[in-house]
A and B are shown apart, each in its own frame.
Chain A
Amino acid sequence: MAEGGPKPSSSVKLVLLGEAAVGKSSLVLRFVNDDFQENREPTIGAAFLTQKCNLPSRTIKFEIWDTAGQERFASLAPMYYRNAQSALVVYDLTKASSLAKAKHWVAELQRQASPGIVIALVGNKLDLTSQSTGLENSMGGLSLSAAAGDGDEEEEEEGDARQITTAEAKSYADEEGLLFFETSAKTGHNVQEVFTAIANAIPESTLKTRGGPGSNRAGNGTGGDTFGSGGVNLSAVGETNKDGCAC
């Protein structure tokens, strides 16, 4: 266990939003269990998982709400983003419509969620684009301040499943003041980085140490689906605890 000594520890509520099948649950599974499953059941309502993230100065315990993506579940979302301090709005790099949906969620969060919520825009399934090898410009370092210039080169690339250029999403993210990443839940590329960036971006002042620093459920990171029905939600086992972020 990456026990950070007497570092202050606090919980952060994080909600994942985005169109169906963009890979929200897969991102969480990668982050929490460092695992990937090809066929994940769609999330029904929402799934809840936790994972710690060790920063140099403190430990953040993410309480992750992974929501269902289908349009008609949208009216349930307020139930889940209520009191959230951070949000991952996910789209699928290979599906143009998913960015539009992501923008709707950003707008919704900006208007309806807690003020000061930290939002990260995440383009997932990078492995399906020709860029996934990371040869020319690894997205690894792409975070808040990454250059937006990549777009021009990408547009020239054909035979690529990518439908949303980095430049397009990046400029939108900048406009709205969002963190921005391109990830692959499948390869794990950039996944830890997203959560670390969020952890870093949460203002110290909004951190509350509910019920004592992780006292009542310390180290009980839950996640993963193990039994036959593969239930995404309440059925998941909590024994696959893994160390905090590799940061």
Chain B
Amino acid sequence: MLSLSSLISKASSLIDPNILPPSLLNQVNGSTNDGQTPAVLFRSNFRLPDSESPLAVIPCELSLPTGEHYFGRLHLSESFLCFSSSAPSSVSGASSSSSSTAGPPSCGFTLPLVAIRRVERLHSRSYLFALAVTTWHNDQKLTLQFNSLRSTCEKFCEALKKNLRSQMSEMKNLRMLVGSCYSEWLVTGGKSKDGAKEEPDAGLGMVWKYPGDAKKLRDRSKMRLWAEYLRENGRNITLIRQPTFHKLIRVGLPNRLRGEVWELTSGSLYGRLFNPTLYTDTLTEFSGRHSLSIDEIEKDLNRSLPEYPGFQSEEGIGRLRRVLSAYSWKNPDVGYCQAMNIVVAALLIYMSETQAFFLLSTLCDRLVPGYYSQTMYGTLLDQRVFESLVEKTMPILWEHLVKSDVQLSVVSLPWFLSLFINSMPLVFAFRVLDVFFLEGPKVLFQVGLAILRINGEELLDVTDDGAFISCLKNYFLRLDESAHPRSDNEKLRAVTRFQELMVVAFREFSGITEQTITDQRTRHKDSVLSSIESFAKRTTLRNLGPESKRLATNDLGYIYDRFYKVLYERQERLAAIELEKERLNEKKVMSSARSISEKSINEKGRIGLGPSSQLMDYDYFREFLAGVAKWAIADSPSQLFSPGLGGSLDPQWGSNGRKKSINLSPWGDNAEPADHEFMQRLFRRWDTDYRSGLSLQDVVAGLAGIKGKKDIMESISYFFELYDDDGDGRVDREGILRISEALLFITRRGWETPPNIGDQNRNSEGKGGTDPFLGSVSGFIRRCFEYADPDQQGKQEEVSTGVEGMDELVDLLDLASDDEDGDSVKSPVKEKELKGKDKEKDEESGEKTSLDIDANTRPSAMSANIALDPANPLHITLPTFRMIVLADEVLEYFFETGFADSIVLSTDGSKTPSGRNVSAGASAFGNLGGGGIAGAKGLRGVLDNIVNDGMRVAQEVRRRMDEAQKEMERNAVPGKYKEDEEEEGDAKSIMEGDRELLKGAEASVVDEAAKLAIKTGIPDDDGASGTLLGSPTSSLATTHVGEELRTPTTPMPTRVEFEMDK
């Protein structure tokens, strides 16, 4: 599937014919730069940190102390003054040098403003506007003669002055940086007051020797040349790049300056300047922490340039470990990728840890973006680009490779990934790196093409991958040999194969520019990402674990797509909102430290780019659900406050729910998802690893749990377990009410009822297909309380003695809250999870008790209503729950298929959540049209209202069903009612009465009933589940025994009639 070549051939038909011949390239490059904003281009031209932006530009002439003059443009950004010359001969070059991507300009500088000591206005000639700039290294004075309208010049100067002032604070950083630079030592001999007193760290090579023979490399001569250049043109932070600079690099850098020049030419030096402690801080912050990356790094530490003696030592290994770990923490999206160890090991031979850390960042962010990412898309992309360049520049060879079915990238991929370090002998690889850091990634392509060009003849004889690889292997091993061993010309004989390679690369392929690479990357990016994505999808779907087998393949594919769509779209949206917010706040002070791991926004949003997060938090989950289940769509858009959650809302959820006060909708164009307690429960249930986030696997397993149920029993258990918070096989009063709410919530937009059910149901006349469900749910509540088991007395006592030593009020409150909790036996695992919730519940119930108990209520009334009395804990068990569900055919049908069908996965047109033609739901949904809650009619409409308003639905069901019972009902209301507020003052005395009640006769009857119930073997797991599996009649019979026993105290149906009569 990753058939690069076939895709290449397709893609190549689209390639702009302008890119070749090379002579045309430079012209094209000057004008097009699609895919790159001016700011990006500006930063990459001058190797600036991401925090910089082009603020002003002015044509000018630069005069150097050495006497040279250059025309070009002067740019100002927040913290830099940059210059790049246009072609040296061009006097009026100012207008045509807008972009210097065609190669390094002959002269230029990137001067941090903090490195400028003085700027003076020169008055030599009145009609000219000129500045004299004194840099940090005093010996230099640059003259900049502006070439523009006076007002423009003045504006530029104003901006410069302002920024110069704001950069003063960086002075300390500047001193630190300069002191660590080898060039400073070299020029001042350690005698400068800012320079280091001892030789700065120039890598492991200082101790373990630099690779290669220094004499043969002519290291001393090079060093002398550099010393001279640095004296004349400034050093490190103030260096000016003249043509000699480029030449000095082309012939190979001297060992001790190599690291610093790499830093300078790549721009990583500036990251280090502004974040001098970032490296050490990162190490301190994460010391001792573990991660997958850390494990992977550890595995490879002994496997990084093992032949170099420095990496057989603890010191070398330690440095490598620290740099790789620090980077993996700083940029967890990349983490650690094999090949980074080799690259960093190579860097560490020439530079300090801190330098290597910043250079690695620059590599990953700018030079070889995406090479080491999770999906390695950058690597694959550049292979595609390379193949297409080969096809264009060496069509005959290309054709031959295609014909012989040789895949070029199997050979070239390691070249790019390890920047040739792993392919060529080290001394030569470093020479390539010298140019690479100066001129950018195009160098990798140029060298790669040159390798093929030089070996072209031989490669044309090769007919398979193996021979192809052997041929090039042999070539690399003989790079130090003469390129023309049999030539009569002595000079020609002295030319090594490596020199030949460099000449071919940079002369013959000079047409390959940064712009070419940028264009080509843009061109191929999409198809590369798509192929990575389809690979990722295939692999992921196969490895979703055993649970996934319960879902159909196309459902899995659908979940996968939906999962990542939500994840990335939302990430993008939130990023956009964040950006918008930042813009509003005009927060322009951005630490350049951010550039370390910052991805531009449009870089997100594709799996192929490597995910930043693989987990969905609750808000993502809501969005996900809203796409697959219509009940998960909010009824009234943009509620600013998420209602319906009452006291059960975890603080955690609460904060999520209120993130919305930004003018951009966090839901984008999608329907706003609902936020119901049921959804929170689902989320927590699916979040099996307690990460407060769902992986794709969690979502698949979760959906499999609902849609992949074998039978109704499983489905009922699933629902029950959702509400059995502590896993003790019981659901308390609160839970029963919440189940009812959930049932109404799920079906409030209708669901697919079987046609015959609606006719039979007694409550449903004229109300449309969904109303039978309403009847069923209210019946459900009634039966639940009817068949519920009271909690055992023993437990209550246990807890009330447990609060000994506290004052009475607290004691009372606790007693009440204990009732609410139902029991004191908790599974330790879940308790931890639910702690926050329980606590809130405790408070709520304490308050509730004080409100709910009416002072005027007679003890007898209380006892009659004992099932609803929160002071009398009760619960239902799974068998009871089953029985109650199965007793109602609508509910039975709901659990049989309705619940599972309410979530619609693969795209079956008629069933998609947005499709509103679900038979039974049509009328109810129609009532809600336009979000007009108030306009909704009928009982159903009222209920929808209730859902929206966050009232306790179940509560309301009962209230509407039985107005006459209102007062009694209020006793059991777990929510807060306005009428009750004035009674708050009585809380204490009421509660004392309440407590007495519990000790009184009525309460003891409950206790007796409970005891009897236990004796008759009704409650709890074993016996009951056995009966369900056995004959249904016997199970019902058993329950009835229990029910009869309790009749005196909890005659709920009777009570209803009684109250109504009254």
**Complex CA distance for A235 and B307, rounded to whole angstroms:** 14
Residues 389-420 of B, flagged 1 when their CB comes within 8 A of A and 0 if not, give 00000000000000001010111011101100
**Complex CA distance for A20 and B303, rounded to whole angstroms:** 12
Contact present for B2 and A229 (CB under 8 Å): no
Contact present for B417 and A45 (CB under 8 Å): yes
A-B contact count (CB 8 A): 160
Contact present for B407 and A79 (CB under 8 Å): yes
A74: min CB distance to chain B, Å: 7
Contact present for B303 and A40 (CB under 8 Å): yes
Partner of A228, one of B300, B410, B425: B425
> Within residues 53 to 99 of chain A, which ones have a CB less than 8 A from any CB in chain B?
63, 65, 68, 70, 72-76, 78-80, 82-83
- A83: chain B residues at CB < 8 Å are 405
Query: B339: CB under 8 A from chain A?
Result: yes
> Within residues 509 to 548 of chain B, which ones have a CB less than 8 A from any CB in chain A?
532, 535-536, 538-539, 542-543
Query: B424: CB under 8 A from chain A?
Result: yes
Contact present for A75 and B380 (CB under 8 Å): yes
Query: B1034: CB under 8 A from chain A?
Result: no
- A107: chain B residues at CB < 8 Å are 542-543
B606: min CB distance to chain A, Å: 14
Residues 970-994 of B, flagged 1 when their CB comes within 8 A of A and 0 if not, give 0000000000000000000000000
Query: B934: CB under 8 A from chain A?
Result: no
Contact present for A70 and B296 (CB under 8 Å): yes
Contact present for B543 and A42 (CB under 8 Å): no
Task: Supply 7 A–B pairs (Cβ within 8 Å), ascending by A.
Answer: A42-B299, A42-B300, A45-B413, A46-B414, A50-B466, A73-B338, A231-B424
Partner of A233, one of B337, B414, B536: B414
A141: min CB distance to chain B, Å: 32
- A65: chain B residues at CB < 8 Å are 410
Contact present for A48 and B469 (CB under 8 Å): yes
Which chain B residue has the least Cβ–Cβ distance from A107?
Answer: B542
B634: min CB distance to chain A, Å: 39
> Within residues 466 to 513 of chain B, which ones have a CB less than 8 A from any CB in chain A?
466-467, 469-470, 472-474, 476-477
**Complex CA distance for A238 and B472, rounded to whole angstroms:** 11
Which chain A residue has the least Cβ–Cβ distance from B464?
Answer: A210
Query: B305: CB under 8 A from chain A?
Result: yes
Task: List chain A positions with a Cβ less than 8 A from chain B.
Answer: 11, 20-21, 38-46, 48, 50, 63, 65, 68, 70, 72-76, 78-80, 82-83, 104, 107-108, 111-112, 210-211, 216-217, 220, 222, 227-238
Partner of B2, one of A43, A79, A232, A238: A79
Contact present for A41 and B426 (CB under 8 Å): no
Contact present for A20 and B299 (CB under 8 Å): yes
- B2: chain A residues at CB < 8 Å are 75-76, 78-79
Query: B423: CB under 8 A from chain A?
Result: yes
**Complex CA distance for A133 and B302, rounded to whole angstroms:** 27
Contact present for B410 and A46 (CB under 8 Å): yes
Which chain B residue has the least Cβ–Cβ distance from A63?
Answer: B466
Contact present for B424 and A235 (CB under 8 Å): yes
Contact present for A76 and B423 (CB under 8 Å): no
Contact present for A73 and B376 (CB under 8 Å): yes
Partner of B426, one of A43, A112, A228: A228
Query: B648: CB under 8 A from chain A?
Result: no
- A63: chain B residues at CB < 8 Å are 464-466
**Complex CA distance for A63 and B429, rounded to whole angstroms:** 28
Partner of B466, one of A42, A108, A217: A217
Extra inter-chain contacts (4) besides given A111-B542, A112-B1, A112-B538, CB under 8 Å = A44-B422, A72-B337, A227-B477, A234-B472
Query: B375: CB under 8 A from chain A?
Result: yes
- A21: chain B residues at CB < 8 Å are 299-300, 303
Which chain A residue has the least Cβ–Cβ distance from B376?
Answer: A72
Contact present for B470 and A228 (CB under 8 Å): no
Contact present for B303 and A44 (CB under 8 Å): no
Which chain A residue has the least Cβ–Cβ distance from B373?
Answer: A72
Which chain B residue has the least Cβ–Cβ distance from A69?
Answer: B338
Query: B342: CB under 8 A from chain A?
Result: yes
Contact present for B410 and A235 (CB under 8 Å): no
Partner of B307, one of A38, A80, A230: A230
Task: List chain B positions with a Cβ less than 8 A from chain A.
Answer: 1-4, 211, 296, 299-300, 302-308, 337-339, 341-342, 373-376, 379-380, 405, 407, 409-411, 413-415, 417-418, 421-426, 429, 461, 463-467, 469-470, 472-474, 476-477, 532, 535-536, 538-539, 542-543
Which chain B residue has the least Cβ–Cβ distance from A46?
Answer: B410
B881: min CB distance to chain A, Å: 38
A49: min CB distance to chain B, Å: 8
- A232: chain B residues at CB < 8 Å are 422
B645: min CB distance to chain A, Å: 40
Contact present for A231 and B380 (CB under 8 Å): no
User: A73-B376, A229-B421, A234-B473 in contact; A42/B539 too (CB < 8 A)?
Assistant: no
Contact present for A229 and B380 (CB under 8 Å): no
Contact present for B375 and A75 (CB under 8 Å): yes
**Complex CA distance for A45 and B371, rounded to whole angstroms:** 12
Contact present for B423 and A48 (CB under 8 Å): no
Q: Which 4 pairs of residues, A with B, have the shortest CB-CB distance?
A: A39-B306, A45-B413, A42-B338, A45-B414
Contact present for B342 and A75 (CB under 8 Å): no
**Complex CA distance for A228 and B405, rounded to whole angstroms:** 32
Which chain B residue has the least Cβ–Cβ distance from A217?
Answer: B467
**Complex CA distance for A222 and B472, rounded to whole angstroms:** 12
Which chain A residue has the least Cβ–Cβ distance from B532?
Answer: A75
Contact present for B376 and A227 (CB under 8 Å): no
- B417: chain A residues at CB < 8 Å are 44-45
Contact present for A229 and B532 (CB under 8 Å): no
A95: min CB distance to chain B, Å: 11
- A234: chain B residues at CB < 8 Å are 411, 414-415, 423, 469, 472-473, 476
- B300: chain A residues at CB < 8 Å are 20-21, 42
Partner of A229, one of B339, B422, B463, B466: B422
Contact present for B304 and A41 (CB under 8 Å): yes
**Complex CA distance for A82 and B470, rounded to whole angstroms:** 20
**Complex CA distance for A217 and B417, rounded to whole angstroms:** 28
- B409: chain A residues at CB < 8 Å are 79
User: A75-B532, A75-B535 in contact; A48/B466 too (CB < 8 A)?
Assistant: yes
- B407: chain A residues at CB < 8 Å are 79, 82
**Complex CA distance for A182 and B473, rounded to whole angstroms:** 32
User: A70-B296, A75-B2 in contact; A44/B477 too (CB < 8 A)?
Assistant: no
**Complex CA distance for A104 and B2, rounded to whole angstroms:** 18
**Complex CA distance for A83 and B3, rounded to whole angstroms:** 12
**Complex CA distance for A232 and B379, rounded to whole angstroms:** 18
Contact present for A233 and B423 (CB under 8 Å): yes
Contact present for A39 and B338 (CB under 8 Å): no
Contact present for A217 and B341 (CB under 8 Å): no
Contact present for A228 and B308 (CB under 8 Å): yes
- B474: chain A residues at CB < 8 Å are 238
- B467: chain A residues at CB < 8 Å are 216-217
- A217: chain B residues at CB < 8 Å are 466-467, 470
- A227: chain B residues at CB < 8 Å are 307, 425, 477
- A82: chain B residues at CB < 8 Å are 3, 407
